[in-house]
Structure 1
Amino acid sequence: MRYGLLAVTLLSVALGGCSEGVLDPKGPIAAAERLIMFNSLGIMLAIVIPTILATLAVGFWFRASNSRAAYLPDFAYSGRLELLVWSIPAMTVLLVGGVAWVGAHDLDPRKPISSSVTPVTVQVVSLDWKWLFIYPEQGIASVNNLVVPVGTPISFELTSSSVMNSFHAPQLGSQIYTMSGMVTRLHLQADHLGTYPGQSAMFSGDGFSDMRFTVDAVTDNQFAQWVRQARETGPALDMQTYAALAMPSKAVAPFTYRTVAADLFSRIVNAGMGTQESFLPICSTSQRAER
């Protein structure tokens, strides 16, 4: 009874970190990624467990006290044994590689999620050290708070205002990099109502530990209400306010912008490419040199 209670306690401790992570998916992409991980684990255990058991069995059978064990000091080679030893790992590599190959194509970040619901477009900019989410179709923006309607595919366009970064919402799936002067694309979906953590998955300086955001999966009515509230409060996001926002800051509390300059995202991308016509004040040569 005591050992059973100890086993349950250890299992509870081990599984305590499974919530709010990759083992607790809340969308189709994260669920598919978890399935790939479980399939790969199962395939690898198919060789690991027999190997461990075989090692113990060999050690037990060929112990010094077992007079029935054959002593073969001149044994050098067995074709059948070599075939067995190499075929099982080779099969494991092929199976794990097949799972990874199929999953890599099925879960291509650029591949849209099959759905009858029209996707919502969100433009993401990684800043020092915060996240800017622009909703071009709704004409609003938010900082460190991503609000999405549940059951609706989200089409992300991502870039960085400065250093390379990494966007990751573990319970929705697919970590992806953001790079200055480039646009990466990602498609995710939340299938359950709730609030999920998001983070920067790549070290990017002093404020990295606080570079987090929340994902609020809400109903369509709640999303529409949030959009209306955002349009009625907060400042306008234009070139000047973006320049102030892009300055390094830590642990920024979430807030919204009531309007967004129509070409802001493209100018951020072009500024990272160094195009003169899209030069933003925040991207001056002197400021880049200081950073």
Structure 2
Amino acid sequence: MMRNFRPTRLLWGLSPVLAVLLSGCQGGILDPKGQVAADEKSLIITATLLMLLVVIPVIVMTFLFAWKYRASNKDAIYTPKWSHSNKIEAVVWIIPIIIVACLAVVTWKTTHKLDPYRPLDSDKKPINVQVVAMNWKWLFIYPDLNIATVNQIAFPKDVPVNFRITSDAAMNSFFIPQLGGQIYAMAGMETKLHLIANEAGTYKGMSSNYSGAGFSGMKFNAIATETPEQFDAWVQKVRASGKALNADAYLALVKPSENNAAAFYTTPEPRLFDAVLHKYMAGRQSLAATDDELKLAALTKRLCETPAVKEQ
């Protein structure tokens, strides 16, 4: 009676632990809500299953051999001079070659398909978003809509979003787990990412690269609206409640702060993202030639009043 009772009690005791572990899949990379994330999940599962074709037999044979050749088994064949088997050699070489070949083909195809710089195939006009990582918040600029936000972005579902990403502080990593992979945000450099949401909802975004004291609060919401009309309503709300994001407002915003709430801005300074990008580059002033470049150089010089740049 006790033999049947103990495993049952053990399973009941472990069930909360298993529930907690499995709950980690919800809202993460194994719960995709966009095509890119879905393809990445498929790649993870495929690669894992291919590797398990080797791992599982090895684990099973380890226990099997230990049991078969135990000291108490007098029927086991003892062959101390055995040194070679063509059958074993064939298995240990052919099977890994097949698995590695399959992994190579899958990796080659998905590496190009899931290239973060590759624009997504869609018949809908993409939304352009410029991303600036700060200590410790995210600034999002919509250059085509003349608005900007802090720690909140929105876009309609089934519409591609093209991100241009940089940093005005320490290196961070831009990451919306349910929509796609991460990519680094670095001062003086620009990276790109293309994502799309297949379902409406609010998805958690974060920095996945430690960047100091306020790192744990460096999070944002990515809102995928059900219809373009709902997205237009969100844009109007930003325009109605926001304040102008000029150079002075940016310099105030860039000061380190933690656990920042969402904030809205309108009429961001033209080419603000480019000025942030160029202010850490050597010789940034000498390249100015046209009126547009002179304006960019002047804005870049204004943004260089931040302490981090003055120290360089």
* TM-score range for the pair, normalised by the shorter chain length: over 0.9
1:37 to 2:58 alignment: no
C-alpha distance in 2 between matches for 1:198 and 1:168? 6
Whether contact under 8 Å (1:159, 1:182) holds in the other structure is yes
Whether contact under 8 Å (1:161, 1:268) holds in the other structure is yes
Paired residues for 1:88-237 under 5 Å: 88-218=95-225, 219-237=227-245
1:52 to 2:73 alignment: no
Q: 184-193 or 54-63, which moves further after superposition?
A: 54-63
Post-superposition CA distance 1:200-230 (Å, at most 9, x none): 0111112111111111111311110111121
Q: Per the alignment, in what secondary structure is the counterpart of residue 37 of structure 1?
A: helix
Post-superposition CA distance 1:260-286 (Å, at most 9, x none): 122111111111224122534342485
Q: Where does residue 258 of structure 1 map in the other structure?
A: 266
Q: Per the alignment, in what secondary structure is the counterpart of residue 132 of structure 2?
A: strand
C-alpha distance in 2 between matches for 1:286 and 1:140? 26
Whether contact under 8 Å (1:159, 1:179) holds in the other structure is yes
Whether contact under 8 Å (1:158, 1:185) holds in the other structure is yes
1:70 to 2:77 alignment: yes
Whether contact under 8 Å (2:245, 2:267) holds in the other structure is yes
Q: Per the alignment, in what secondary structure is the counterpart of residue 55 of structure 1?
A: helix
Post-superposition CA distance 1:138-195 (Å, at most 9, x none): 1000000011111111011111112221100000012001122222111101111111
C-alpha distance in 2 between matches for 1:222 and 1:285? 37
| RMSD between superposed Cα atoms in Å | 2.0
Q: 153-162 or 57-66, which moves further after superposition?
A: 57-66
Q: What is the TM-score of this pair, normalised by structure 2?
A: 0.87
1:247 to 2:255 alignment: yes
Percent identity of equivalent pairs: 42
C-alpha distance in 2 between matches for 1:206 and 1:187? 29
Q: Where does residue 288 of structure 1 map in the other structure?
A: 309
Q: Residues 11 and 206 (structure 1 numbering): CA distance in 2 closer, same or farther, change over 3 Å?
A: closer
C-alpha distance in 1 between matches for 2:306 and 2:138? 23
Q: Per the alignment, in what secondary structure is the counterpart of residue 24 of structure 2?
A: helix
Q: Per the alignment, in what secondary structure is the counterpart of residue 279 of structure 2?
A: helix
Instruction: Give the letter for the 1:288 counterpart.
Output: V
C-alpha distance in 1 between matches for 2:228 and 2:269? 25
Whether contact under 8 Å (2:189, 2:277) holds in the other structure is yes
Whether contact under 8 Å (2:280, 2:309) holds in the other structure is no
Count of aligned pairs between the two proteins: 291
Gaps of at least 5 residues in structure 1 are none
Q: Where does residue 17 of structure 1 map in the other structure?
A: 24
Post-superposition CA distance 1:6-29 (Å, at most 9, x none): 675554233111111001000000
Whether contact under 8 Å (2:238, 2:264) holds in the other structure is yes
Whether contact under 8 Å (2:251, 2:306) holds in the other structure is no
Whether contact under 8 Å (1:239, 1:280) holds in the other structure is no
Q: Per the alignment, in what secondary structure is the counterpart of residue 309 of structure 2?
A: helix
Q: 230-239 or 273-282, which moves further after superposition?
A: 273-282
C-alpha distance in 2 between matches for 1:187 and 1:21? 18
C-alpha distance in 2 between matches for 1:7 and 1:98? 40
Q: 257-266 or 271-280, which moves further after superposition?
A: 271-280
